[in-house]
Structure 1
Amino acid sequence: MALVRTADLAPDGRQSETALMIRRGVGRLLRGLGYAYLPELTLASGRRADMVAVGLKGDIWIVEIKSSLEDFRADSKWPDYHSHCDRLFFATHPGVDAGIFPEEAGLILSDGYGAEIVRDCGEDRLAGATRKAVMLRFAQAAANRLHELADPRLAGTVTEIGDD
């Protein structure tokens, strides 16, 4: 069994104010496109994606937030996200040079009030078993977070889920 720590809906101190601003704008964009998202979702690889979104047809996007050039340079884990999503995007704000982001990923610009996809990316469809594993992880995390709202004493507990 893999162990997954349920996350609080509130920021946990790891995210900068700029990253939270970017996330808010991207969240509004995703919702407008018909996607539901979860922030800070731990994947089967043990990596934690900044945002995982699920569309009405079951497509899965990962959005990796980068608030600065230094933030991007310090991150070498993003290529691993390709194996957990159909489409991978970076999200940033207009003050970051868009040219630093790799062409194989899409790019979203956010001002905190909204966001825009400024570079789309190709789709690489997940295998059925992988899609099911990501969807189960997403669903369980969403249900646990909702339960924690109803019963705050549960926040931060560890929950077992099946091997992916």
Structure 2
Amino acid sequence: MLDMTPGQRLARGVARHLASLGFATIEEFVPDRGLRVDVMALGPKSELWVIECKSSRADYLADTKWRGYLEWCDRFFWAVDTDFPTELLPPETGLIIADAYDAEIVRMSPEDKLAPARRKKVIHKYAMNAARRLQSLRHPMA
């Protein structure tokens, strides 16, 4: 884990925690051109969560795209470590405290359900992305 960036360590802890809640996750998921979310989570009831991992104040302040992610999920969260100044984060968003091994949802994000057509599009893209990643592991030259 020494070669992981701070954001990747946060994403790992988030993914581990969400797996314990029945979610499947994909890191660095592209829901639409020009957007790349740190973690996209698909829940047991087809709920879609976006989690943005911020390793520092500067990392958070440099993020100008996060509001564009809201239209691609039912719930939006920030994942930060225990040293992050959480007062910077908008109170209307979810908050997860994480490290490389686990995480805890400190503030649940309000739910804003996706329209059925948008949900179908995102889940299809999620499934294709996950399948391609698995295929590239099994058959790297394919």
Counterpart of 2:126, as a letter, is F
The reply on whether 1:63 has 2:51 as its aligned counterpart is yes
Alignment partner for residue 34 of structure 1, among 16, 22, 45? 22
What does residue 88 of structure 1 align with? 76
Q: Distance in 1 between matches of 2:62 and 2:56?
A: 10
Q: Deviations over 1:107-129 (max 9, x none)?
A: 00012111001111110000000
Q: Identity over aligned residues, as a percent?
A: 41
Shift in Å, 1:24:
1.1
TM-score, normalised to structure 2, is 0.95
1:110 to 78, 87, 98: 98
How many pairs align? 140
Question: Shift in Å at residue 44 of structure 1?
Answer: 2.0
Cα RMSD after superposing both structures: 1.3
Q: Who is 2:114 aligned against?
A: 126
Please report how far the alpha carbon of residue 46 of structure 1 lies from its aligned counterpart in structure 2 after TM superposition. 2.9
In 2, Cα distance between the equivalents of 1:113 and 1:39?
Answer: 16
Post-superposition offset of 1:45: 4.0
* Higher-RCO chain (CA-CA 8 Å, sequence separation at least 6): 1
Partner AA of 1:151 in structure 2:
H
Matching of residues 44-59 of structure 1 within 5 Å: 44-59=32-47
Structure 1 outlier segments of 4+, above 6 Å: none
